[in-house]
């Protein structure tokens, strides 16, 4: 029975029971965490072979004869560019390999635009106003970068097909202070939505008023499927932009953080040759080169994209039951009650939950009091402010299945209590 159809008395009786259940949870003194998209220990173990792949007997010379142990090679090793090019579905020569984190690459990209502009444009720090579009709900660390640089963030609602493109097209074409948009186009963070072909094509055909407008295409989950036989496909944006006559309009980011080791992987940017040349002018000042030994370690471990895809199947085997367990519990506990909706992704790292308006903060706070840490309510919105106070990001990857079961049941219970409270208060 939907909570909204219950009488005041029914709700009060229900609440008594729910609060008793909650006290029982609290008594367990749980310390569980569903906050961040961290791989589990089992997943990390999958890549331990990488520790043996180079030894003191290894020849650390790469394909073109470079000794990977010494200075140099700004762009990355040819074989690493090939591997990450295949992963990112672009030619190797549209790639620059960076250090250990794509977040850092995105930060540096915004930072460079602030101080030096984009392909010769006015540095953004010299402008009165710079704006970014932020599809919501979205990734808190994206929003943190733009906030840090004083860039005004304009929210654009997400749909199952991607951002509201009518709104994106209008904002981008009318306002030359709009310089960028944050996108997680595949298995989006937090909803797990993948942009439709039409959305990608509309992105590629944008007619930005600002010449230095760029799409920040964070393809973090490009090969991070949960199912072998039921995967999302995403049109390749560099190619679509090229075909649309907008070859320079996009930066594409990715890393192996959730493939090998978070923090000890390799990251890359993919872009047009014009953009890459612009980037190299800065990169050659910033560094003599990134960690080539780690690039070599990755290439020799994965061998090629087939090896990487096979490796991702093993990740999926660990992640899939966790997602399914969370979804099963949400359905069992909350299905048909009319107090929440959630996404059912086929990949990525998150499930997005929408509570009744005004309940998210209270739900997360209540879960925390019983020892279950969720991503802070509001984190999926710029400035941490969810105007509806309803979106909550669930990260099923890190806990064990049994911990996840406990945590999700507790979470569902908190949803019930706060929803009942809300509905009661409105009766």
**Interface residue list for a copy of itself (CB under 8 A):** 36, 38-39, 41, 44, 47-52, 54-56, 58, 60, 67-73, 99-101, 103-104, 107-108, 111, 114-116, 123, 125-126, 141, 144-145, 148-149, 257, 261-264, 282, 285-294
Tokens 């995105």 map to which residue? Answer: 106
Q: How far is the CB of 349 from a copy of itself (least distance, A)?
A: 12
Please, which residue, 1 or 41, has the CB nearer to a copy of itself?
Answer: 41
**CB neighbours (10 Å) of residue 145?**
20
Residues 227-252 as b or e (16 or more Cβ within 10 Å = b)? eeeebbebbbbbbbbbebebbbbbbb
Specify the DSSP element, H or E, that contains 366: helix 360-369
Q: How far is the CB of 235 from a copy of itself (least distance, A)?
A: 29
Q: How far is the CB of 37 from a copy of itself (least distance, A)?
A: 9
Please, which residue, 76 or 378, has the CB nearer to a copy of itself?
Answer: 76
Tally of CA atoms within 13 A in the half-sphere of 57 that contains its CB: 2
Q: How far is the CB of 267 from a copy of itself (least distance, A)?
A: 10
Tally of CA atoms within 13 A in the half-sphere of 183 that contains its CB: 28
Please, which residue, 65 or 336, has the CB nearer to a copy of itself?
Answer: 65
Please, which residue, 99 or 162, has the CB nearer to a copy of itself?
Answer: 99
Q: How far is CA 360 from CA 47, 139, 175, 352, 387, in A?
A: 36, 17, 33, 12, 11
Q: How far is the CB of 21 from a copy of itself (least distance, A)?
A: 33
- Are the C-beta atoms of residues 205 and 165 closer than 8 Å to each other? no
Please, which residue, 54 or 305, has the CB nearer to a copy of itself?
Answer: 54
As a whole number of angstroms, the distance between CA 415 and CA 213 comes to 41
Please, which residue, 138 or 163, has the CB nearer to a copy of itself?
Answer: 138
Strands 372-374 and 32-34: parallel
Please, which residue, 294 or 391, has the CB nearer to a copy of itself?
Answer: 294
Q: How far is the CB of 318 from a copy of itself (least distance, A)?
A: 14
Please, which residue, 43 or 222, has the CB nearer to a copy of itself?
Answer: 43
Residues 6+ apart with CB under 8 A from 313: 228
- Are the C-beta atoms of residues 217 and 251 closer than 8 Å to each other? yes
Please, which residue, 162 or 190, has the CB nearer to a copy of itself?
Answer: 190
Q: Which of 9, 25, 10 is nearest to 367 (CA)?
A: 25
Please, which residue, 94 or 257, has the CB nearer to a copy of itself?
Answer: 257
As a whole number of angstroms, the distance between CA 56 and CA 368 comes to 48
Q: How far is the CB of 261 from a copy of itself (least distance, A)?
A: 5
Please, which residue, 16 or 51, has the CB nearer to a copy of itself?
Answer: 51
Q: How far is the CB of 239 from a copy of itself (least distance, A)?
A: 30
DSSP 7-65: -HHHHHHHHHHHHHHHHHHHHT---EEESS-PPPHHHHHTTGGGGTSS-TTS--B-TTS
For residue 12, give both structure tokens: 């009060």
3-state secondary structure of 420: helix
Q: How far is the CB of 347 from a copy of itself (least distance, A)?
A: 19
Q: How far is the CB of 47 from a copy of itself (least distance, A)?
A: 8
- Are the C-beta atoms of residues 345 and 323 closer than 8 Å to each other? yes
Q: Is 177 left (phi over 0), alpha (psi -120 to 50) or beta?
A: alpha
Q: How far is the CB of 104 from a copy of itself (least distance, A)?
A: 5
Tokens 């929440």 map to which residue? Answer: 340
């Amino acid at each position: 029975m939907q909570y909204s159809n219950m009488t005041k008395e029914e709700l009060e009786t229900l609440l008594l029971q729910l609060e008793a259940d909650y006290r029982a949870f609290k008594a367990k003194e749980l310390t569980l965490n569903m906050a961040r998209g961290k791989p589990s220990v089992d997943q990390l173990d999958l890549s331990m072979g990488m520790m043996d792949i180079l030894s003191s007997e290894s020849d650390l010379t790469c394909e073109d004869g470079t000794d990977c142990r010494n200075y140099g090679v700004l762009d990355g090793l040819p074989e690493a560019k090939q591997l990450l090019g295949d992963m990112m579905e672009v030619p190797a020569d549209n790639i620059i390999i960076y250090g250990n984190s794509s977040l850092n690459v995105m930060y540096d990209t915004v930072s460079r635009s602030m101080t030096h502009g984009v392909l010769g444009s006015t540095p953004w720090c010299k402008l009165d106003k710079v704006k970014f579009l932020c599809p919501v709900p979205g990734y808190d660390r994206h929003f943190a970068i733009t906030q840090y640089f004083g860039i005004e963030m304009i929210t654009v609602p997400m749909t199952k097909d991607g951002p509201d493109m009518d709104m994106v097209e209008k904002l981008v074409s009318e306002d030359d202070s709009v310089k960028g948009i944050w996108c997680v186009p595949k298995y989006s963070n937090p909803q797990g939505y993948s942009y439709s072909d039409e959305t990608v094509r509309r992105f590629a055909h944008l007619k930005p008023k600002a010449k230095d407008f760029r799409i920040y295409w964070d393809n973090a989950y490009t090969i991070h499927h949960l199912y072998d036989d039921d995967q999302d496909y995403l049109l390749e944006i560099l190619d679509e932009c090229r075909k649309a006559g907008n070859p320079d309009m996009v930066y594409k980011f990715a890393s192996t953080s959730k493939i090998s080791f978070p923090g000890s992987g390799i990251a890359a940017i993919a872009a047009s040759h014009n953009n890459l040349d612009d980037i190299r002018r800065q990169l050659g000042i910033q560094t003599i080169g990134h960690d080539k030994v780690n690039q070599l370690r990755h290439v020799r471990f994965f061998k090629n994209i087939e090896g990487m895809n096979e490796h991702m199947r093993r990740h999926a085997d660990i992640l899939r039951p966790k997602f399914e367990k969370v979804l099963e519990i949400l359905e069992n506990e909350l299905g048909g009650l009319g107090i929440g909706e959630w996404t059912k992704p086929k990949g990525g790292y998150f499930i997005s939950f929408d509570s009744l308006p005004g309940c998210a903060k209270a739900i997360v706070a209540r879960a925390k009091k019983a020892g279950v840490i969720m991503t802070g309510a509001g984190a999926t919105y710029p400035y941490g402010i969810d105007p509806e106070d309803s979106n909550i990001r669930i990260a099923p990857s890190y806990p064990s299945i049994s911990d996840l079961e406990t945590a999700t049941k507790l979470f569902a219970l908190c949803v019930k209590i706060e929803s009942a409270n809300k509905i009661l208060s409105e009766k």
